[in-house]
């Protein structure tokens, strides 16, 4: 069913639209899909490049951070296991002088001073030894108990921890703190020690900024702290989370150091479509040219080659004004269409030969038929002439008998009007106006016969007088109204003749109505059927053929398009309506 429906729809499309269908479904859509897949692959590749770049950049940040704080852990453990430092801090001192002597002797003669200043803010060891004095590298443990980092370290319960926090007592640029704290685990140590290494955040920032990146990178610790960003200082954590929620080009690398959770966020403007177009302009241009424009141009050339020749063939089939087929000249090509055009030329030559033969025979046949028609019309006309002449002379006779000879001249004048038209058969057509004059003369002549028993009215609308109708056709219907309508009636009777146009139906209407005795429905149906189907053979068959004769002549003149309608009621009268298409009528110029 679907196949049939599709074929039915395609069969209704002309070739241009069929080629459009081919363009759309066989060229454009497949090529657009193909180009779309290729473009999608390029976009995916570009998106992956962005993702790989972000991942590598986040990994580079992670590597630098891990390297930094693992180095701190190594230093802290080394200090914890250093026997010299442990002896210095484990010893009891009688007074501060003794302590400072030992302190300077150790610091000046050891690597500790160099180690403490190497890429670090400071190394500070807190010792639970009341005999030492607070200094640059060593302090009483009690001094650390009020520090925020100490509280965080104690609460963690760990021996090693990386502590990150804001110090509200410091300047803005120094608020961010990274402290790596290690509780001493040396079995030889006699006192409790906590080794802390504070990183210089600005130094770490400079190191991280030295990593070449194309993304916006944020280093976060915990859930609310952003110690570093390459897009500005003091970035709120909420801004990082907002970007991570809303942006497409994002990467997060999470890891743990010293019990602290680190997250490196990398964001990039992932305008992959624009990037693909920008980075592959020449490739995309060639792709569109080769896969879309070039096939369409080739299809257009093929379409023109086919449609142009088919249109030529169609024009030849349609023919010219003379309805003759013409030979197609300059046939180009050797494909199926060219072969069809050549076969068409062969068919035209054969058809022309047959047409010439048939045309000559048909011409002879038509000439014979026209001669026969003219003879039949002359025969019909000859039947009408004596009929009217007899009735007219009978009227004169009756009038002479009843009234004497005084009005005979007037009656003869009326008869002369009728006879002039009746005997002039050079032209079988007459205008409605001339026929109305004839009807008027006829009815006036009949008035001498019927006296007050006959009244008539002739009404011709403007614009209807010049239409041509067969001669002596309307008067035939009027005569029938007199003979069968008025003659058999003892009281006064009327005859109405009306000619008008029905503009909405495009018809010329002719009515002949009388107030005679009328006819039965059966008789009306029979008469109506004969009037509309009359033939010459039918006229030859019947004796009283006046009405049928008029109907036949009208049908012949108007190419069978004249229609006849009969309406009658017994005791009331009868009406005959003739309708002729205005387009079938001509006017006398």
Write the pLDDT tens digit of every residue in 182-193: 998 877 777 889
Residue 508 lies in a domain: yes
How far apart are alpha carbons 115 and 77 in whole angstroms?
A: 13
Domain identity same for 310 and 369 = no
Please give the pLDDT value at position 413: 55
pLDDT > 90? residue 559: no
Residue 80: which residues within 8 A CB-CB, separation 6 or more? Answer: 182, 184, 185, 186, 193, 195
Residue 93: which residues within 8 A CB-CB, separation 6 or more? Answer: 99, 102, 131, 132
pLDDT tier, 499 (very low <50, low <70, confident <90, very high otherwise):
very high
Average of per-residue pLDDT across 267-286: 68
pLDDT > 80? residue 386: no
Domain identity same for 519 and 427 = yes
Ranges 225-229, 484-488, 513-517, most confident: 513-517
Domain identity same for 294 and 410 = no
Domain identity same for 387 and 253 = no
Residue appearing with tokens 């190394």: 123
DSSP alpha helices (H): ranges in 461-520?
A: 474-481
Please give the pLDDT value at position 451: 81
Residue appearing with tokens 């006819």: 519
Half-sphere exposure of 545 (CA within 13 A, CB side): 19
Residue 566 lies in a domain: yes
Q: For residue 524, what is the domain's CATH number? A: 3.30.565.10
Residue 343 lies in a domain: no
Residue appearing with tokens 């002309």: 14
Residue appearing with tokens 């062969």: 346
pLDDT tier, 566 (very low <50, low <70, confident <90, very high otherwise):
very high
Please give the pLDDT value at position 230: 84
Query: Both tokens of residue 270?
Result: 């992932």
Residue 219 lies in a domain: yes
Please give the pLDDT value at position 96: 86
Q: How many CB atoms lie within 10 A of CB 432?
A: 22
Residue 354 lies in a domain: no
pLDDT > 60? residue 3: no
pLDDT tier, 457 (very low <50, low <70, confident <90, very high otherwise):
very high
Please give the pLDDT value at position 118: 55
Residue 336 lies in a domain: no
Domain identity same for 292 and 381 = no
pLDDT > 70? residue 372: no
Count of the separate structural domains present in the chain: 2
DSSP class of residue 328? Answer: P
Per DSSP bridges, beta strands 260-267 and 122-127 are unpaired
- Over the stretch 504-532, which tens digit does the pLDDT of each residue have? 989 999 999 999 888 899 999 999 999 99
In 3D, which of 568, 456, 554, 547 has the Cα closest to residue 508?
Answer: 554
In 3D, which of 445, 438, 443 has the Cα closest to residue 414?
Answer: 445
Backbone angles phi, psi at 572, to 5 degrees: -115, -45
Higher pLDDT, 280 or 298: 298
Domain identity same for 447 and 580 = yes
pLDDT > 90 in the chain, percent: 15
Please give the pLDDT value at position 173: 47
Please give the pLDDT value at position 222: 76
How far apart are alpha carbons 313 and 333 in whole angstroms?
A: 14
Domain identity same for 310 and 422 = no
Ranges 72-81, 294-303, 374-383, most confident: 72-81
pLDDT tier, 459 (very low <50, low <70, confident <90, very high otherwise):
very high
Domain identity same for 304 and 373 = no
Domain identity same for 435 and 502 = yes
Domain identity same for 375 and 268 = no
Among 258, 291, 318, residue at a domain's last position = 318
**Beta bridge mates, 513:** 496, 575
Please give the pLDDT value at position 344: 75
pLDDT > 60? residue 393: no
Higher pLDDT, 146 or 41: 146
pLDDT > 50? residue 103: yes
Residue 570 lies in a domain: yes
Among 318, 353, 382, residue at a domain's last position = 318
Among 318, 342, 377, residue at a domain's last position = 318
Domain identity same for 86 and 217 = yes
How far apart are alpha carbons 401 and 409 in whole angstroms?
A: 14
Return left, alpha or beta for 537; rule: phi > 0 is left, psi -120 to 50 is alpha, else beta: alpha
Q: Domain span at residue 521? A: 365-584
In 3D, which of 318, 448, 445 has the Cα closest to residue 388?
Answer: 445
How far apart are alpha carbons 151 and 181 in whole angstroms?
A: 12
Domain identity same for 278 and 427 = no
Residue 518: which residues within 8 A CB-CB, separation 6 or more? Answer: 568, 569, 570, 571, 572, 573, 574
Average of per-residue pLDDT across 77-94: 85
pLDDT > 70? residue 203: yes
Ranges assigned E (strand) in 342-385: none
Residue 88 lies in a domain: yes
């Amino acid at each position: 069913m679907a196949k049939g429906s599709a074929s039915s729809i395609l069969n209704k499309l002309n070739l241009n639209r069929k080629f459009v269908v081919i363009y759309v479904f066989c060229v454009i859509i497949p090529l657009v899909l193909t180009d779309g897949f290729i473009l999608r692959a390029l976009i995916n590749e570009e998106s992956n490049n962005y993702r790989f770049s972000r991942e590598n950049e986040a990994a580079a940040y992670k590597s630098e951070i891990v390297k930094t704080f693992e180095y701190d852990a190594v230093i802290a453990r080394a200090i914890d296991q250093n026997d010299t430092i442990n002896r210095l801090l484990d010893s009891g001192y009688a007074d501060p002088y003794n302590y400072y002597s030992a302190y300077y002797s150790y610091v000046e003669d050891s690597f500790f001073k160099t180690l403490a200043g190497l890429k670090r803010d400071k190394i500070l060891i807190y010792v639970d030894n009341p005999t030492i004095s607070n200094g640059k590298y060593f302090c009483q443990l009690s001094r650390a108990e009020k520090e925020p980092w100490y509280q965080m370290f104690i609460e963690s319960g760990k021996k090693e921890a990386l502590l990150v926090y804001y110090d509200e007592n410091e300047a803005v640029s120094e608020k961010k703190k990274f402290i790596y704290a290690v509780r001493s685990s040396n079995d030889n140590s006699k006192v409790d020690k906590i080794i802390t290494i504070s990183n210089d955040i600005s130094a770490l920032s400079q190191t991280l900024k030295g990593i070449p990146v194309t993304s916006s990178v944020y280093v976060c610790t915990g859930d609310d702290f952003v110690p570093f960003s390459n897009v500005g200082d003091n970035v709120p954590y909420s801004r990082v989370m907002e970007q991570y929620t809303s942006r497409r080009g994002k990467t997060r690398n999470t890891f743990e150091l010293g019990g602290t959770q680190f997250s490196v966020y990398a964001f990039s403007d992932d305008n992959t479509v624009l990037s693909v177009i920008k980075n592959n302009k020449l490739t995309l241009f060639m792709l569109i040219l080769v896969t879309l424009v070039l096939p369409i141009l080739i299809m257009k050339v093929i379409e023109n080659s086919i449609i142009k020749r088919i249109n030529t063939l169609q024009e030849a089939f349609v023919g010219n004004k003379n309805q003759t087929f013409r030979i197609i000249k300059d046939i180009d090509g050797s494909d199926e269409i060219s072969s069809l055009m050549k076969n068409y030329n062969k068919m035209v030559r054969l058809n022309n030969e047959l047409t010439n033969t048939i045309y000559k025979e048909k011409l002879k046949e038509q000439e014979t038929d026209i001669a026969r028609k003219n003879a039949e019309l002359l025969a019909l006309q000859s039947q009408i002439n004596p009929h009217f002449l007899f009735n007219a002379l009978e009227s004169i006779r009756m009038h002479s008998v009843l009234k004497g000879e005084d009005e005979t001249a007037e009656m003869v004048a009326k008869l002369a009007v009728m006879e002039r038209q009746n005997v002039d058969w050079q032209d079988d057509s007459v205008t409605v106006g001339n026929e109305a004059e004839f009807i008027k003369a006829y009815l006036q002549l009949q008035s001498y016969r019927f006296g007050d028993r006959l009244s008539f009215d002739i009404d011709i609308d403007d614009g209807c007088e010049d239409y041509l109708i067969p001669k002596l056709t309307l008067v035939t219907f009027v005569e029938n109204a007199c003979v069968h309508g008025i003659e058999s009636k003892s009281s006064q009777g009327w005859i109405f003749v009306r000619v008008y146009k029905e503009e909405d139906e495009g018809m010329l209407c002719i009515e002949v109505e009388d107030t005679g005795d009328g006819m039965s429905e059966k008789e009306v149906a029979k008469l109506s059927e004969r009037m509309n189907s009359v033939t010459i053979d039918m006229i030859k068959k019947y004796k009283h053929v006046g009405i049928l004769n008029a109907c036949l002549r009208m049908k012949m003149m108007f190419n069978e398009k004249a229609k006849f309608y009969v309406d009658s009621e017994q005791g009331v009268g009868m009406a005959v309506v003739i309708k002729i298409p205005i387009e079938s009528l001509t006017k006398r110029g």
